[in-house]
Amino acid sequence: MTNRLTDMLGIRYPIVQGGMQWVGYAEMAAAVSNAGGLGTLTALSQPDPDALSKEIARTREMTDAPFAVNLTVLPSINPPPYAEYVDAIVESGVKIVETAGQSPREFVETFKANDIRILHKCTQVRHALSAQKSGVDVISIDGFECAGHPGEKDIPNLLLVPLAVRALDIPVIASGGIGEGRGLAAAMAMGADGINMGTRFCATKEAPIHDNIKRALVEATEHDTRLIFRTMNNTARVLANAISDEVVATERREGGCEFKDIRHLVAGQRGKAALEAGEVDNGVITAGPVIGLIDDIPSCAELIERMMEEARRHLRDGLAALV
C-alpha cells in the first residue's frame, strides 16, 4: 500500500507507532520498522541527550529501515534541555521526527536545515493549520479516542479526521481508537494518508513492558479507561486501575484538587516502575479505549501484516462491493 506518506517516509505500510513514554525504546521502534511501519523512539524516555544518542545507535543495530524520534514539548517549571535533545537527533542523522505538545516552531528551521521530516501531533484543526504554516510535513490528528492527551474539545476521529483532511494540504495521519485493519480502512476512507497506533503496539511480543501489563490490556474492555487531569485542563486518558480511580476521585472531591494533591500518584517514575514490574495497580498506565479490540499479543510483524490484509479486504471487498 503506497501513497504520499509512505513515499515521503520511505516505509512499506502507512502505519506509524506513536511516541510512548517508557515504551518507545529501541526494541519497540526496530520491531515496527522491520515490519514495514514507522517505529518511533521517545526522546524523553531517555534521561539525557547523550543517552538518546546511544539509543538511536542501538536502534540502528536492530534495523536498517527508517525510524523516527518523538520529542514532546510541554510547559514545565523545570523543562528538560529540549535544544540539546534536538542536537542529539540532528547529530545522530535521524531523518524523521514526531513532535507533540507545544508548537514545534522553534525547532522547525533546524530540522529543515538537516533534511528532517516533521510529523506533528494535534488535537484540533486550528493547531494543525498553524503547524502546517510553520513548515511541518505531516499532521497526526488525535481524536478523543486516543491514549495520552486527547485535548479538551472531545472531538472524535469520525469528525476530526475528515475536518483535518478538508483543511490541510499536507498528509494527515489518523490517531486514536485504531487497532485492527478495519480501523485502517476507515481512516483511508475518510481521506487519511495513514494511521498512528500506540496502545495496540503495547500488546505485542516486542513491547518492552511486563507481560502482566500486556495481559491487562488484553483482558480490559473499551470501558476500562479513565480521563484524569480534566479539572486542570490537561486531560490524559489512561488505563482504569487503583491509581487512576484515586486520581479521578480526588479531582471530584468537594473543595477541589491541586496538582500537589495527586503528584505522588501520577509521578512518571512510578508509572515507569509499574510498567517494568508488571504492577498494574501501582502507577499511571497510558491506554486508549481501543483496548476493547485487543484480544491477543502478536509480534509486530504479525500484527501489521494482519492489519494490512484486513484493510485491503475491507477496502476491496467491502467498500468496493457497495458501489
> What crossing angle do the helices spanning 157-167 and 125-134 adopt, rounded to 10°?
30
Measure the CA–CA gap between 33 and 11, rounded to whole angstroms.
8
Confidence bin at 1 (pLDDT 50/70/90): confident
User: Are the C-beta atoms of residues 111 and 3 closer than 8 Å to each other?
Assistant: no
Note the pLDDT of residue 175: 98
Q: Give the per-residue SS3 of 127-153.
A: HHHHHHHHCCCEEEEECCCCCECCCCC
pLDDT at residue 239 tops 90: yes
Confidence bin at 323 (pLDDT 50/70/90): confident
Each residue of 256-299: pLDDT tens digit?
899 999 999 999 999 999 999 999 999 999 999 999 999 999 99
pLDDT at residue 62 tops 90: yes
pLDDT at residue 77 tops 90: no
Domain with CATH 3.20.20.70 in the chain: 4-205
Q: How many residues does the chain have?
A: 323
Could you tell me the three cell numbers for 23?
515504551
Confidence bin at 203 (pLDDT 50/70/90): very high
Measure the CA–CA gap between 220 and 26, rounded to whole angstroms.
27
Note the pLDDT of residue 74: 87
The answer to which of 16-20, 43-47, 76-80, 304-308 has the lowest mean pLDDT is 76-80
pLDDT at residue 28 tops 90: yes
pLDDT at residue 317 tops 90: no
Average pLDDT on 174-194 reads: 97
Measure the CA–CA gap between 92 and 88, rounded to whole angstroms.
6
Note the pLDDT of residue 96: 98
Measure the CA–CA gap between 65 and 168, rounded to whole angstroms.
28
For the chain, percent of residues with pLDDT exceeding 90 = 94
Whole-prediction pTM value?
A: 0.96
CATH for 4-205 is 3.20.20.70
User: Are the C-beta atoms of residues 108 and 118 closer than 8 Å to each other?
Assistant: yes
